[in-house]
Structure 1
C-alpha cells in the first residue's frame, strides 16, 4: 500500500513525526513524506502581510498536489492539519486517494482544523476532547487515536558514572513552562523538599522569587537526553496542560506519558481523563488528584522502591503490548481499509 504522509520533521529534534514515519514503513507501506511546513518565506516575513502568507500557503498546497500526482498513493495522511487547505483535500479525493487527518495539539489551535476536518474521509484525534469538539462541526468518521511510544528509542538506557551524576534525581519533570502552566508550577512547588530536577523550555522565565528556580537543570534538552533523565530518576511527574480560563478542554494523554512508561520509570501523573481510560492507577502508573495526595504518593513510593519498581515494570509492559506507534498505524490503516 502506498501512503503519502504529510507532517513536519525537525532535523535537530526527534518528534512523533519521525516515529510515525518509521511505523508506516514497519507495516510494509511504501511511504512518501511531504514536509507540510516547507514555506518559501520565513514566518517573520509572512506574518507581516496576509498577501505573502496566502501566496506561500497556496504554493505549499500546490507542491503537495504535485507530490500526490507523482507518487500516486492510495492513502494520504495529514498530521496536524493547519496548513493544508480544504480545496486541496477535495482535489486529493478527486484523484481517488483516501484522505485522513490526525490531529495533534490541544484544541486551542483548532480554528483552521475545524474548517478543513469535514473534508477528510477519516479524522483521527490524539485526545477525546478533539473528538467532542469536531462532532459539533459535523465531522464524520471520527476516531480517538492517542499518542504512543517507539520502543526502539523509548527504553531504559545504561548511564555512565558522569551521566548518573548529571541526571540523578528523586523526582524529575520534563516539560515546558509558560504563564499558562500555573497548574504544573503549583504541583512542582509542593515537591521542593526532595531532590527535584526540572528540564524544559521556558523555565528560565520563572518569576525571580520562585523556589523552583534552583531545581531547573536545563532549558534546552532533546529526546535523546529525556530517556537518560527518565533512566536516572526514581519518579517522573507529569502535569498536563489545562486552559486556566476553562474555555477549551484538554483530556489527551501527553506523549511523555507513553515515553516515560516505555523507559520503565514510575510515573506519577495528574488525573487526566484519557490517561485514566488507557492505564490503571496503581498498576501501570500512579494518578494523583490534589497536591496533598501528590506529596503523600511521592513519599510512599520513595520509601517503597519495590512497589515502585513493580508498577514501572508493568507500565512498560503495557505500552509495549498496546501503545506503540506501530499499533497506532495498524489501527488507522485497518479503519481506513474497512471504510
Structure 2
C-alpha cells in the first residue's frame, strides 16, 4: 500500500509513518498542504491512501479546502485520525471532516463512534501508541533530573478529567514541597480558583520541544501521567512507558483495563494515596526500575504504531 502522510507535528511524524513502514507500506510525507505541490504528488505518486491526523498549525480553513478538493479530483481515498475527541469534536474534528470529507475516520474516543457513524462515515476506534524507534530510554541528563516530572499543557477551563488528574497527582506534591519539575505551556497562567492549587515559579521549566521528552522520562525518577478521560488513554501514557519511565497515573477505567497496577505502572485513587506511593517508590529504586521495565515491555508488545497501522490496514480491507 502506498500512503501519503500529511503532517508537520513531530508527535505524529514519529508515530504512524514508522508503523506503516513496519507493515510493509510505502510512505511519503508532506509537511504542509500547498495546492501545486499536493496536486503534483497526487498525480505522480498516486497513493492508495492519504492519511491526516489531529488539529495542527497546517490545518487552516483554506488548506483543508484544498485537501478535500484535490483528493476528490484525483479519486484518492482519505483517512483522518481524530485525536482531539471528545473535548474538541464540535470545534475542531467536525469542521475538519466537513471540509475534507474523508472516507474513513479513526478516533481515539470510543464514545464518538456512534456520532460519526450516524452521519454516514466509516468510523473506527484507534488509540494512541508508542514508536520503539523513538520512544525509548536515553542517557539521563542533569537538566532534567528530579524526583517527579510532569510534561503537560495546563488547562484553560480544566473542564475535563484532566483537572481531576492534576488534583490527585500533582496538587498534594506541590503543596507538600516535593522535588517536582513541570514542563509545558500555560502553567504560568494557572488559575488556582479553577484547579484548586498553586505551583511555585521555581517548579516551572517552560515549554519542552517534543524531541526532548524522552530525556525527561529517562532522567526523572517518577513521571506523572495526567488523563483527559476515564475511558481513553493519552499519548503520553504510551510514550512515557515506551521510554522506560516510571509512570504514576490516576486509577481510571482505561488505565486499569490496559495495564496491571503495580506491575506496568503505578496508579493512585486519591491525593493521600499519591503521597504514600511517592514516598514508597522514591525509597525503593529497584521496584521503581522493575515497574518501568515491565511497562516498557508491555507497550512494546501490544501498543506500538506498527500494531495501530495493522489495525488501520485491516479496517481498510
Question: Which range, TM-score by smaller chain?
Answer: 0.7 to 0.9
Do the aligned partners of 1:147 and 1:254 also contact (CA within 8 Å) in 2? yes
- Give the equivalent residue in structure 2 for 1:197: 181
How many angstroms apart in 2 are the aligned matches of 1:28 and 1:96?
23
Aligned to 1:123: 105
- Runs of 5+ unmatched residues, structure 2: none
Alpha carbons of structure 1 residues 205 and 88: separation in structure 2 relative to 1, 3 Å: closer
Residues 208, 129 of structure 1: alpha-carbon distance in 2 compared, 3 angstrom cutoff: closer
Partner of residue 335, structure 1? 315
Structure 2 partner of 1:43: none
Q: Distance in 1 between matches of 2:136 and 2:277?
A: 24
Q: How does 1:3-22 map to 2 (within 5 A)?
A: 3-7=3-7, 9-10=8-9, 14-22=10-18
- The higher-RCO structure (CA 8 Å, 6+ apart) is 2
Quote the Cα distance in structure 2 between the aligned partners of 1:325 and 1:127: 17
Match of 1:101 among 45, 65, 80: 80
Please state how far the C-alpha of 1:136 moved relative to its aligned partner: 4.4
Aligned partners of 1:269 and 1:287 also within 8 Å: yes
In structure 2, the residue matched to 1:298 is 278
Give deviations 1:25-69, integer Å, cap 9, x for gaps.
343322222345x4xxxxxxxxxxxxxxxxxxxxx5686455323
The alignment covers a number of residue pairs equal to: 299
- Write the distance in 2 (CA, Å) between the matches of 1:208 and 1:100: 40
CA distance in 2, matches of 1:90, 1:158: 47
Contact 1:76 1:97 in 2 (8 A): yes
> 2 CA distance for matches of 1:167 and 1:92?
44
Shift of 1:296: 2.4
Q: Tell me the residue number matched to 2:121.
A: 139
Quick check: 1:65–1:88 contact (8 Å CA) kept in 2?
Answer: no
1:133/1:286 CA distance change after superposition, 3 Å: farther
Between 98-107 and 17-26, the greater mean CA deviation after superposition: 17-26
Which one of 296, 304, 307 corresponds to residue 316 of structure 1? Answer: 296
Contact 2:14 / 2:131 at 8 angstroms: preserved in 1?
no
Question: Which digits, 9 at most, give the CA deviation of each residue in 1:71-99, with x for residues without a partner?
Answer: 21112222237657689658736755333
Determine if contact 1:238/1:267 at 8 Å carries over to the other structure: yes
Q: Show CA shifts across 1:185-237 (max 9, x none).
A: 43412113321111111112235996422452411211333212111222111
The root-mean-square deviation of aligned C-alpha atoms, in Å, is: 3.1
How high is the TM-score relative to the length of structure 2? 0.80
The answer to whether the aligner puts 1:216 opposite 2:177 as a matched pair is no
The answer on whether the counterparts of 2:187 and 2:204 sit within 8 Å (CA) in structure 1 is no
| Alignment correspondent of 1:279 | 259
Which residue of 234, 244, 247 maps to 2:221?
Answer: 234
1-side partners of 2:15 and 2:67: how far apart?
26
Q: Who is 2:44 aligned against?
A: 70
CA distance in 1, matches of 2:259, 2:4: 32
Within the alignment, does 1:155 sit opposite 2:142 as a pair?
A: no
Question: Cα deviation per residue 1:286-311 (whole Å; 9 max; x = unaligned)?
Answer: 22222222222222322333332222
CA positional deviation for 1:278: 2.5
Find the counterpart in structure 1 of residue 145 from structure 2.
Answer: 168
- Mapped contact 1:146–1:253 kept (Cα < 8 A): yes
Q: Which residue of 2 aligns with 1:2?
A: 2
The TM-score normalised by the length of structure 1 is 0.76
What is the rounded CA distance, in whole Å, between the counterparts of 2:94 and 2:119 in structure 1?
7
Q: 1:136 to 1:321 in 2, by over 3 A?
A: same
Aligned partners of 2:253, 2:31: CA distance in 1, in Å? 32
1:33 is matched with which residue?
A: 29
In structure 1, how many angstroms separate the alpha carbons of the residues matched to 2:118 and 2:66? 21
**Partner Cα separation in structure 2 for residue 260 and residue 275 of structure 1:** 14
